[in-house]
A and B are shown apart, each in its own frame.
Chain A
Amino acid sequence: MHAGSIWTLLDHVPDPEIPVISIVELGIVRDVTEGAVVLTPTYTGCPATFAIESAVRTALDKAGFNDIAITRQIDPPWTTDWISETGREKLRAYGIAPPPHSNNLRGTTTPACPQCGSSHTEELSRFGSTPCKALWRCLDCAEPFDHFKCH
């Protein structure tokens, strides 16, 4: 059993859409068990799911874990609350406003601009470049930015 080293390994597998954070930071590694890595998709139709599974397969094989399977678990459904604090900070530094915590939705639905920190922002499009993001704009520094939606 090498759960510890597998977790470390997975923490170096980047999310294909947002390569600045790892799949562990994104909260989609559900478990590492005796014989399997358990992954959960963000959205049911997320096209990155297959890319992620193949990246995990490659990483496992390279480290000699050829006998560790990859299984998918959809329930309980993934939530943005599972994105780690480190992950949130990395998103912000990358220019993506991180999602609010779901227990703190009231009053904080307006994300701060990841560039200048202003909360004077507006939504441009509810759906953005990927299913998990919306497109926003800062009214102070005028930069458009992605907002990771609370899900």
Chain B
Amino acid sequence: MGADRKDIARYAISLGDDSLILGQRLGEWCGHAPTLEIDLFLANIALDLIGQATLLLDYAGTLEGEGRDGDKLAFHRDVLDFTNCLLVEQPNGDFGRTIARQFLFSNFQLLLFQALSNSTDATIAGIARKAAKEVAYHARVASEWMVRLGDGTEESAQRVAEGLDWSWRFVDELFEAPDAKLIEAGVAVDPASFRPAFDAAIDAVLRDACLARPADRRATVGGRRGHHSEHLGHLLSQMQFLQRTYPDARW
């Protein structure tokens, strides 16, 4: 009730921005990861995320009806117009921090897409059903790495614990409720509904990984309203370099 195309477009953009920005971040590892296996899995996850972003942003562009497609939305917006969560824009840090970020985000995104598989918006539901299959894989691999690092050497355990601690302040933002109109209309889901499932999944892996759950602290929020850390601007300057230099480039 009361949710119009523009509202749905905004929601699709925030979902798409999460995937796009994390996909871009993971792409930074390409060719730099310590082993071939890690290089491949980070690049493959990045590819899935950019695929999701393409579907979601293309759809948002269609709903807007202003002639913007996924590429236009990805490459011709500046920092304040992005509504991704803050977690995904955080720098990669070391491998421990990258894995901790992936572990938290993929577990969240899996539950989100599973819930959105029943969205009353048929396109969002279809994208969510498709993406959930891929994200289940991301969550599994990231969880396995949490255990390998946490239950590994003294150094790997310390580094992944630091990565987890760094990322933890951004978790609460993932569970901010989107536009109430959209939840009421069944287009969006209130992530609070699956917070207990998220906590249970995280705690189970942390136990296996011999890692302590970080203490809760004041959440850092604002990404959904366009208030980003300084890191996003730097990321965009690289991602959008070509379109900024040659605004009407075609190939």
Contact = CB atoms under 8 A, between A and B. Distances in A.
Interface string A43-87: 111110000000000000000000000000011111000000000
B117 to A, nearest CB: 9
Contact of B55 (A74, A78, A135): A74
Contact of B130 (A75, A127, A135): A75
B52 interface: yes
B101 to A, nearest CB: 18
B129 A75 contact: yes
A131 B129 contact: no
Contacts of A46: 47, 51
B41 interface: yes
B36 A125 contact: yes
A86 B44 CA distance: 28
Chain B: interface residue count, which band? 20 to 34
A43 B23 CA distance: 15
Chain A: interface residue count, which band? 20 to 34
A127 B144 CA distance: 14
A126 interface: yes
B127 A126 contact: no
Contact of B131 (A44, A76, A131): A44
Contacts of B49: 45
Contacts of A151: 133
A125 B129 contact: no
Given A74-B127, A77-B133, A127 B54 contact: no
A14 interface: no
A44 B40 contact: no
Contacts, number: 63
Contact of B44 (A41, A77, A131): A131
B51 A44 contact: yes
Nearest to B45: A127
B130 A77 contact: yes
A127 B37 contact: yes
A45 B37 contact: no
Contacts of A128: 40
A125 B127 contact: no
B37 A124 contact: yes
B179 interface: no
B141 A43 contact: no
Nearest to A49: B51
A58 B133 CA distance: 31
A74 B44 contact: no
Interface string A97-128: 00000000000000000000000000011111
Interface in B104-129: 122, 125-127, 129
13 contacts: A43-B48, A44-B52, A45-B50, A45-B54, A46-B47, A75-B122, A75-B127, A125-B40, A126-B41, A127-B37, A127-B141, A131-B44, A135-B37
Given A45-B46, A74-B126, A75-B130, 15 more contacts: A41-B51, A44-B48, A44-B52, A44-B131, A45-B23, A45-B51, A75-B125, A75-B129, A125-B41, A126-B37, A127-B41, A127-B141, A128-B40, A129-B40, A131-B47
Interface of A: 41, 43-47, 74-78, 124-129, 131, 135, 151
Q: Which 5 A-B pairs have the closest CB atoms?
A: A45-B51, A44-B51, A75-B126, A45-B47, A125-B37
